[in-house]
A and B are shown apart, each in its own frame.
Chain A
């Protein structure tokens, strides 16, 4: 039974993803992207990961989309500027993508799925996944977690370096 909502969400996600790349208006594209991301959040809930769903909504639907819309607004991208700027790359790209899709599909459908389930303890399944995730982050993944803080610092500094004009010139 659970598969029915999954297929609904998945279908809407794929359709609106196609919408993102096919509409000419950048704002419409951004809204389609928002729909896609919301469907993914719904799928996360079906997979019993309320935390990931919340993060998806907060960060992607909330923060990232606002940035997108801001950029569209500030740069004032009209319809005309989003014309086709591809140099016949489609001739190569489309077959390449199709071959890749066919290969991956063949492997998923035809291959024997021998993947063992992850660490799905009762705690995770009942809905405590946020707590489990937090504990994992601060125990097992402590070191990469700390390095990520440096990574964010670098990104912050980098953004400033790239946009700040030299004053003494």
Chain B
């Protein structure tokens, strides 16, 4: 039956990035058996090479026709996200190698689990069907559960990992419940199938509304939106610092990829319903994240709350429901990859095995002792706060402008207000670094070569997106356009 086969469109060229990444991960898995404990960083360098090799493939895999029986849609949108995932994975692995040595966690599993987490994100980004979406989500989540808990002899790590695991499993259950209702209503798990059935109905089915609410809760957990955020500060604090960075960038980007695709592709007919729910979520998330971050003593926890606030801003881009708002999310995530991983790179470098360097007060007088580090951290924090001429400013600007254009004045006002509040705690760290004297002349670690590469690249990314955002925004607009045709 060749015609039935042709209808399936088993086009392997649409999943080349996933295939290559899986191959790299499995090669590293096998090599792990032969590499001595002291030399595990070799696996890290190999992972970086593999990831770098996949980036051009992922960028060129653009084929808008659904393949694999409608499961996969490797369009420009998924290519854009895949590049974000791969870049963040490269940075994460680069800053991990020294950290793992420093913390005496010499495990090869760390590297290929990071690659598998990236694979899960890529499956999510190109998923055109709830089945595929869920499988990708679990691939990512299970890898992260293990990565967060990889310091098994550390109490905080185990506590954070357990919270993350239990709440993550719960949120997966809620998401599945929502997907089951959507399937029960429409008889299909395909996003396009649900959209076509939803648009045919004259009245709104309560089943689909229930499905929508449950799916929003499920995704809300993954992006750590306000009432569903409680796992994130503990998980970030307990996880190895590079993993916390990867969790806040990669996992969030992947969740937003499916968020945008599901709500724009599958539920456009219900925009009037989900927009109110997201309005409340977005406003509450921005305000809560910014306000609670102020009182944090631990820098990783502070960045966790800041990351919650950023998710609220990005939700604003989703609910305005036009191409500029959604492209704003894509652009925001790209900038966020650079600035947030840059900040996490400095923290990773500064943190010591005994835990020194994790408190905000440890950053007192850093500018005098290590001016370059303080400069980089200040740059990333200013960008996170949204100060021009950094990428953080343009990203916030695009989304707020889209919200104002779509007449969401109140929400935009809350967004600006939360940005002002957020400025306070970002500035506090900068104030500590530049205005305070260093209490003790302790032995500061030296900046390794991998850190320099990461810091320079992330700083370039942060500044270029700030001073010359047009080409990046154009790409984001171009890949999001087909969604609103």
Q: Is the CB of B207 within 8 A of A115?
A: yes
What residues on B are CB-neighbors of A141 within 8 Å? 69, 71, 131
Interface status of B185 (Cβ within 8 A of chain A): yes
Interchain residue pairs A-B with the least CB separation, the first 8: A140-B69, A111-B206, A158-B146, A143-B68, A107-B206, A118-B187, A144-B135, A144-B132
Q: Is the CB of A113 within 8 A of B142?
A: no
Interface status of A161 (Cβ within 8 A of chain B): yes
Interface hits, A109-140 → B, CB 8 Å: 110-119, 139-140
Shortest distance between the CB of B337 and any CB in chain A (Å): 23
* Chain A to chain B contacts (Cβ below 8 Å), 13 pairs: A103-B210, A111-B205, A114-B203, A115-B184, A118-B188, A139-B8, A142-B8, A142-B68, A142-B71, A143-B15, A158-B146, A161-B107, A161-B150
Q: Is the CB of A112 within 8 A of B203?
A: yes
Query: Of the candidates A114, A119, A144, which one forms a contact with B71 in the assembled complex, judged by CB atoms under 8 Å apart?
Result: A144
What residues on B are CB-neighbors of A14 within 8 Å? none
Q: Is the CB of B152 within 8 A of A150?
A: no
Q: Is the CB of A107 within 8 A of B187?
A: no
- Apart from A114-B201, A154-B142, what 5 extra A-B contacts exist at CB < 8 Å? A111-B206, A140-B8, A142-B68, A148-B135, A161-B113
Q: Is the CB of A150 within 8 A of B22?
A: yes
Query: Of the candidates B18, B109, B203, which one forms a contact with A161 in the assembled complex, judged by CB atoms under 8 Å apart?
Result: B109
Shortest distance between the CB of B185 and any CB in chain A (Å): 5
B side interface size, CB within 8 A: 49
Q: Is the CB of A158 within 8 A of B135?
A: no
Q: Closest A-chain residue to B67, C-beta based?
A: A143
Q: Is the CB of B142 within 8 A of A142?
A: no
Interface status of B392 (Cβ within 8 A of chain A): no
What residues on A are CB-neighbors of B185 within 8 Å? 114-115
Mark each residue of chain A from 147 to 169: 1 if its CB lies under 8 Å from any CB of chain B, else 0.
11011011101100110001010
Q: Is the CB of B186 within 8 A of A115?
A: yes
Shortest distance between the CB of B37 and any CB in chain A (Å): 7
Interface hits, B68-93 → A, CB 8 Å: 68-72
Q: Is the CB of B187 within 8 A of A117?
A: yes
Q: Is the interface of A mostly helix, strand, loop or mixed?
A: helix
Q: Is the CB of A144 within 8 A of B131?
A: yes
Query: Of the candidates A104, A117, A151, A161, which one forms a contact with B146 in the assembled complex, judged by CB atoms under 8 Å apart?
Result: A161
CA distance A157 to B69 in the complex (A): 30
Mark each residue of chain A from 48 to 87: 1 if its CB lies under 8 Å from any CB of chain B, else 0.
0000000000000000000000000000000000000000
Shortest distance between the CB of B39 and any CB in chain A (Å): 14
Query: Of the candidates A110, A113, A116, A157, which one forms a contact with B187 in the assembled complex, judged by CB atoms under 8 Å apart?
Result: A116
What residues on B are CB-neighbors of A139 within 8 Å? 4, 8, 69
Size category of the binding interface on chain A:
20 to 34
CA distance A45 to B159 in the complex (A): 42
What residues on B are CB-neighbors of A110 within 8 Å? 206
Shortest distance between the CB of A30 and any CB in chain B (Å): 20
What residues on B are CB-neighbors of A119 within 8 Å? 187
Query: Of the candidates B10, B139, B207, B210, which one forms a contact with A151 in the assembled complex, judged by CB atoms under 8 Å apart?
Result: B139
Q: Closest B-chain residue to A166, C-beta based?
A: B153
CA distance A116 to B205 in the complex (A): 12
Query: Of the candidates B15, B71, B207, which one forms a contact with A111 in the assembled complex, judged by CB atoms under 8 Å apart?
Result: B207
Q: Is the CB of B132 within 8 A of A143?
A: yes
What residues on A are CB-neighbors of B109 within 8 Å? 157, 161
What residues on B are CB-neighbors of A154 within 8 Å? 113, 116, 139, 142-143, 146
Interface hits, B1-42 → A, CB 8 Å: 4, 8, 10, 15, 18, 22, 29, 37
Mark each residue of chain B from 51 to 70: 1 if its CB lies under 8 Å from any CB of chain A, else 0.
00000000000000000111
Query: Of the candidates B10, B72, B153, B187, which one forms a contact with A115 in the assembled complex, judged by CB atoms under 8 Å apart?
Result: B187
Interface hits, B96-154 → A, CB 8 Å: 107, 109, 112-113, 116, 119-120, 123, 129, 131-132, 135-136, 138-139, 142-143, 145-146, 149-150, 152-153
Interface status of B197 (Cβ within 8 A of chain A): yes
What residues on A are CB-neighbors of B205 within 8 Å? 111-112, 114-115
Given known A115-B186, A142-B10, A150-B22, contact A158–B210 (CB-CB < 8 A): no
What residues on B are CB-neighbors of A140 within 8 Å? 8, 68-71
Q: Is the CB of A150 within 8 A of B150?
A: no
Q: Is the CB of A143 within 8 A of B72?
A: yes
Given known A117-B187, A139-B69, A157-B109, contact A147–B210 (CB-CB < 8 A): no
CA distance A115 to B71 in the complex (A): 22
Mark each residue of chain B from 374 to 416: 1 if its CB lies under 8 Å from any CB of chain A, else 0.
0000000000000000000000000000000000000000000
Q: Is the CB of B113 within 8 A of A157?
A: yes
CA distance A159 to B211 in the complex (A): 33
What residues on A are CB-neighbors of B201 within 8 Å? 114
CA distance A151 to B112 in the complex (A): 13
Given known A147-B135, A151-B135, contact A142–B207 (CB-CB < 8 A): no
Shortest distance between the CB of A153 and any CB in chain B (Å): 8
Given known A155-B142, A161-B109, contact A150–B149 (CB-CB < 8 A): no
Most buried by A among B119, B203, B207: B207
CA distance A105 to B5 in the complex (A): 42
Given known A116-B187, A150-B116, contact A107–B210 (CB-CB < 8 A): yes
